[in-house]
Amino acid sequence: MIPFIVLAPLAIAGGGLFGLAEERLRRKRLATQAASQTTTDSPPHSDTEKQDAPVMASGEPIQIKRSALAARTALGLSAAGIWYPPLMLVSAPVIGYSAYNWLRTRYLFEKPLPQSPLRILAGLALAGSLATGNLLMASLVLNVDLSGRKLISRWTEGLHVIDNDTGKEVTSFNFMERIKYLSKVMLVGEPRWEWFPVLLARVSMGLFFAISGWNKLFTVAHWKGLLAGMIATGLPFPKLMALFLAWFEFVGGSLLTVGFMSTFFSIGLAFAMLVAIITVEIPFVIPPGLGPLDWLDWFLYLPQVLYVLIFLWLIIKGPGPYSADAVIARKLGFDEDSEDPNVDSEKSDLKDPETDSEKNPNEFGPIGSGGTSWTPQHA
């Protein structure tokens, strides 16, 4: 059998040759497409279109992505090869393919290979790893170098993202732009992610009350505890009230989880929690004789108070886009993104006939969704 020390270099070289052949075929295909475009009757590109074209470094940014993907694959195979040695050999051509793309490409912010200290050090480490036959270390070097350069590009000159379909640069964030963005998030939040806490709160509260209602209905100990609490509070018809509350928690929590009739059940469950606070928590849980601050501390510590606040938020904010109510609202045209035919007429009402300019929306009442100003909301 051919020893590993011979097969490994051949496999690495084979992976590199595959990367070279792939690049040659790609360049040939692009040249053919360019030649076919010059023979058409289409007018030449304008100066504006030329300016929109991405500025390429030595090699194209898409090759960096291929190298990173191959390096991650090689790292997984070589790591698994510790327990199953044949996989170590399988990782060799992948390492060769990744190393070829790594050698011929760079990020747009980087200097060429002979002038880049980081790439020189990484190249020496990669060469040493391959020379000693340590394929796991070679794949690790490739991953660390590519990840490190990607991180540096994000926080210095910017990571240039290339659209695979158009080949144009679609976004670029430098260090100061990221600091500005983070500062904005710290001050006013991130509206693009506001659906996530709404979804998390709605599903969590729904599951909590659905499970609680199920236990009260079908677990003897929970049912006896609920019935004893109803009798202790002195409410009329305690058994009927306990049965109604258990069913309402189960049904309401289940439907709140999927986001159906969320506002109705949020109001109902919030009302149930207010009744529990008034009839059970304040007279029986909070110790008597406390000072105002200590009493407030105990009151805010009650979980029912937190539930009421969460339900109040859900009532005002709504169930979020990932809910059955949102699907129904979109079908009925009630969602915010739908075009309102009355928007134009409302805007025309805001115009001053003398100046033909829009009036201040604050003159017509509180700032609504159409206003451009922002006022802090107090809980």
Please report whether residue 338 resides in a domain: no
Give the range of the structural domain holding residue 243, as residue numbers without chain letter.
193-332
Looking at the structure, do residues 242 and 308 belong to the same domain, yes or no? Answer: yes
Looking at the structure, do residues 233 and 101 belong to the same domain, yes or no? Answer: no
Specify the pLDDT at position 204.
Answer: 95
Residue 48 reports pLDDT greater than 80 = no
Among the three residues 130, 149, 182, which one is the final residue of a domain in this structure? Answer: 182
Looking at the structure, do residues 273 and 151 belong to the same domain, yes or no? Answer: no
Looking at the structure, do residues 130 and 13 belong to the same domain, yes or no? Answer: yes
Please report whether residue 351 resides in a domain: no
Q: Which amino acid is at 253?
A: G
Specify the pLDDT at position 108.
Answer: 62
pLDDT, average across residues 258-278: 95
Please report whether residue 349 resides in a domain: no
Looking at the structure, do residues 166 and 116 belong to the same domain, yes or no? Answer: yes
pLDDT, average across residues 258-265: 95
Q: Give dist(CA 239, CA 222) in Å, integer.
A: 13
Give Cα separations from 240 to 65, 229, 237, 266 (angstroms). 65, 13, 5, 22
Looking at the structure, do residues 172 and 257 belong to the same domain, yes or no? Answer: no
Specify the pLDDT at position 35.
Answer: 80
Q: Give dist(CA 218, CA 195) in Å, integer.
A: 34
Please report whether residue 371 resides in a domain: no
Residue 341 reports pLDDT greater than 80 = no
Q: Give dist(CA 268, CA 181) in Å, integer.
A: 40
Looking at the structure, do residues 164 and 198 belong to the same domain, yes or no? Answer: no
Between 347 and 85, name the one with better pLDDT: 85
Looking at the structure, do residues 137 and 205 belong to the same domain, yes or no? Answer: no
Looking at the structure, do residues 211 and 130 belong to the same domain, yes or no? Answer: no
Looking at the structure, do residues 127 and 31 belong to the same domain, yes or no? Answer: yes
Q: Give dist(CA 105, CA 57) in Å, integer.
A: 7
Specify the pLDDT at position 171.
Answer: 52
Q: Which amino acid is at 250?
A: F
Q: Are 88 and 95 in contact (CB under 8 A)?
A: no
pLDDT, average across residues 101-111: 73
Please report whether residue 323 resides in a domain: yes
Q: Is residue 216 classed exposed, middle or buried when 0-12, 13-18 and 19+ CB atoms within 10 A define those classes?
A: buried
Looking at the structure, do residues 216 and 134 belong to the same domain, yes or no? Answer: no
